[in-house]
Structure 1
Amino acid sequence: MRYFGFLILILVLSSPVIGQESIQMGQTHNISSKFLNEERGIQVYLPKGYKVTDKQYPTLYILDGQWYFFNGVAIQESMRGEYLLPEMIVVGVLMDRPGRNETLNQHWDEFKNFIQLELVPFVDKKFRTTQENILFGWENAGFMACELILDKESVFDGAIASNGAYIDDNMLQPFDSLNEERYLFLANSTKDIYTVSYSDQAAQFLEDTKSDNLIWEYRQFNDETHEALTNVSLYHGLKFYYSNFASLTFSSIDEFNAVGGIPYVESYFKARGERFHLPTEVDEGTKNTLIWMAWKQDQFEAFDLLMKEFSDVLETKRYASAYWQNRLAQFYLKNHAFEDAIKHFEQGITKYPEEKYLAKMYRGLGQAYFGLGQKKLARSKYKQAIKKAQENDDPDLEKYQSELKSLG
């Protein structure tokens, strides 16, 4: 293909830059390849829960695993859960020099066939995979990532091409005849004088042709160099592919309202669930965060709406304490929503009678009933607050006593 000249140039320019040593971790396997006519080594990382569950996992394939396998593993380990990215199996394809250069220069098609027809089937058979596959390639292996993601018979759903890319009509037109979406993330830096022009050209071609099936993004990380970009591009490439995997977060209630409020949140989780085979309901984390944010930013109208819309989350363990019932009730009280305040104060007192909160909650009931014009009941609750304050040496005792006198 036309970009083989680019490959040779990159191979020559980059040869002195990267060392030859490789460090092993995870499981090591050798695959006998009929296409390469040799055994090819791979490293495999399994999520920590792999051995104690029957869960299936997506797979991240890293070309040049001898250098970048650790990057993929580090991302998995540092996430410590599934808040931004799912846990993944990571497969590093070992490509030590000088064999790497020879393979990518002289045995391009054979290596492609090895990846698609031997490596991926081997991993799917040996490990519990979802058969959702993402490919990472750096430099001239980034060219291969582009070609593989646009292959009509591709086994990959997404690709990350760092420090090198190439796309033309011969690749894109057959792909566009398919009725399926795939994802491509291109990354480079203006400081990478060897390869940035190729990434620029690929991005410009995609911009001009407007593929219907390819969801893509090109980002330049201009603080990074040719050798250093991989850490950044792999992380951001995975975030791009899993852009609607995480729970929703907002910086403010104004932002929440600007994107569409609750209807937007519900549609997000519906699309997220359908794409990743997850529950389609809004998750507890998002509900809790929105309620907390409305309270923290003193947005009572939004707080009241969210408390009613997401009332089911109030029955979860998070709110099963006097601390939370008092906190919610106090915010209602501050905004003169007296009946809602009373409901939460009473729940706190009857369900979670923690001594250090009882005086506060009885006093809150007194204030709420006074706000409703029920002075007799208000005085009764204040007296209970004073009693609890006396029993627990509450420093606010005198304040409660003064407030009771002011009720008349």
Structure 2
Amino acid sequence: MQTKAIYLTILMLVTVIFNVSYAESSSQHPVYAGFKLVSDSSTLKERREVNIYLPKRYAESSSNYPVLYILDGQWHFMNAIAVQQSLKAQFTKAIPEMIVVAIINKEPNRRNWFGANSEQFSKYLKDELIPHIDSNYRTQPTRILFGWEMGAFFSSSLISQYPSLFEGVILSNGGEIDKEALLNIDKNLAQPLYLYVANSERDVYTIKYGNALANLLANNPLKQLHWRFEKFNQETHQSTPYIALYKGLMNIFQNYRLPEFVSIEEFKERGGLPYLNDYFKKRGERFGVEKVISDKTKNHLIWLALNDDDYSAFDLFMREFSDVLATQRYNAVFWQNRIALFYLRHENTTKAQQYFEQAIVKFPDSALLYNGLGKVFKAIGAKDKAHKNFTKAISIAEQSADNNLPQYQADLASIDVTQ
């Protein structure tokens, strides 16, 4: 689903940057997708073009943002925007919102700047472009660099010289680091560095470099270097970078996204609440966000416990996540009824009665809640009270044309108050 969303976003953004929105009234309105910065470089002795994308709420916020630097911005600017838009979307939030800086490098100068004149281009990045971006925009120290093909070889050379210039580096279809350069990285790395390398066996031009780099890193582990090498063997030299950018960002921000589980069993296998508390503590320390378990994660686990019919986990979450139960999400008939019925199904009639009675105070016109409370009284043998609540549910249902009326009538008929 995420991959599909990414390509849909790419298509949308391509339309946005080259066209304008078209309403049914045929009125036209420009749509923002970024802007171009053109300046003279004293280092490169030429005019340089850079495309910049700012997060949607940049102007109205006071937040500082990580910066994603894209080499070969003439090709990968739109992909960078699309990937970060889809991954930081409201329900995904796999990565933080970022400023995107796409450096335009056209042939034939591109090969010179990434090859014979790479020292000058490194100086341009380090001493001109990055200071300019940091001085003129609200940035965080977190910088990510993406390079493809020649740009990947340049990027690997750059981090060999300046290991702490970027926190994350994505190399697609290229990259080369020798043993001496690796020792320099180890010696001068002042912070953790996240390195992601992607290639394909179909890329006969560069796959040997990817394999060699992976072997070097595997045989010479560095404490501060976190790396991953992945092959996408159905892709080619030209198509791999589009996947590499997506997968690379996911890897670099691997502990930013909120953890999810396919089952309560998986939650327990990962370490349960101690694991979760440690995850959010480290997440908060790295990214400067809250160090407590998020409401979304709490909601996810409560839902799983209900779906898995795991009473012990559910009871644990009811006690540990009492704060989230007071949020607006649970202030609804659906949730109050579902929680109460879960307790009833597991024979905790005290809790079930408590939830139903509290909910009826908030939602006095809910036939569903009165019927549920009737079931509780039936379970504990209080037939008169069960009869009273079933009757109340039927009365409300008849007035509101409730589709559940036949079930309420059947529940009433199931008790015999004459005995």
TM norm structure 2: 0.87
Report if aligned partners of 1:57, 1:130 keep a CA contact under 8 Å in 2.
yes
User: What corresponds to 2:304 in structure 1?
Assistant: 293
User: What corresponds to 2:48 in structure 1?
Assistant: 40
User: What corresponds to 1:193 in structure 2?
Assistant: 204
Q: 2:324 aligns with which of 313, 321, 345?
A: 313
Mapped pair 1:302 → 2:313: yes
Q: Indicate the RMSD between aligned Cα atoms, in angstroms.
A: 1.9
Q: 1:175 aligns with which of 154, 162, 185?
A: 185
Matches within 5 A, 1:4-403: 26-79=34-87, 80-81=89-90, 83-152=93-162, 154-177=164-187, 178-353=189-364, 355=365, 358-393=366-401, 394-403=405-414
In 2 relative to 1, CA 407–175 (structure 1 residues): closer, same or farther, beyond 3 Å? Answer: farther
Q: State the SS of the aligned residue for 1:405.
A: coil
Shift of 1:135: 0.1
Shift of 1:369: 2.8
Q: What is the number of equivalent residue pairs in this alignment?
A: 383
Q: State the SS of the aligned residue for 1:106.
A: coil
Shift of 1:377: 3.5
1:205-227 Cα offsets, whole Å, 9 max, x none, are 00011111110000001110000
Query: Which residue identity does 1:276 align to in structure 2?
Result: F
Report if aligned partners of 1:164, 1:196 keep a CA contact under 8 Å in 2.
yes
Name the CA distance, whole Å, in 1 between partners of 2:394 and 2:206. 75
Name the CA distance, whole Å, in 2 between partners of 1:126 and 1:293. 46
Shift of 1:263: 1.2
Report if aligned partners of 2:377, 2:386 keep a CA contact under 8 Å in 1.
yes
1:321-349 Cα offsets, whole Å, 9 max, x none, are 11211111111111111111112111221
1:81-117 Cα offsets, whole Å, 9 max, x none, are 4611111110111100011112222211111111111
Q: State the SS of the aligned residue for 1:341.
A: helix
Name the CA distance, whole Å, in 2 between partners of 1:207 and 1:253. 34
Out of 254-263 and 174-183, give the one that drifted further: 174-183
Shift of 1:154: 3.5
Report if aligned partners of 2:164, 2:190 keep a CA contact under 8 Å in 1.
no
Query: Which residue identity does 1:188 align to in structure 2?
Result: N
In 2 relative to 1, CA 407–303 (structure 1 residues): closer, same or farther, beyond 3 Å? Answer: farther
Shift of 1:228: 0.5
Report if aligned partners of 2:387, 2:417 keep a CA contact under 8 Å in 1.
no
Out of 372-381 and 301-310, give the one that drifted further: 372-381
Q: State the SS of the aligned residue for 2:233.
A: coil
Query: Which residue identity does 1:330 align to in structure 2?
Result: L
Shift of 1:180: 2.2
Report if aligned partners of 1:362, 1:385 keep a CA contact under 8 Å in 2.
yes
Name the CA distance, whole Å, in 2 between partners of 1:407 and 1:148. 87
Out of 69-78 and 263-272, give the one that drifted further: 69-78
1:347-396 Cα offsets, whole Å, 9 max, x none, are 2211123x3xx333222222223333444443443343343344445232
Shift of 1:153: 5.8
1:22-72 Cα offsets, whole Å, 9 max, x none, are x98621112332221222211001111111111111000000101111110
1:273-309 Cα offsets, whole Å, 9 max, x none, are 1100000110011000110111112222211211221
Name the CA distance, whole Å, in 1 between partners of 2:318 and 2:249. 34
Q: Which ranges in structure 2 are unaligned for 5 or more consecutive residues?
A: 1-16, 19-32
Out of 296-305 and 397-406, give the one that drifted further: 397-406
Name the CA distance, whole Å, in 2 between partners of 1:351 and 1:398. 24
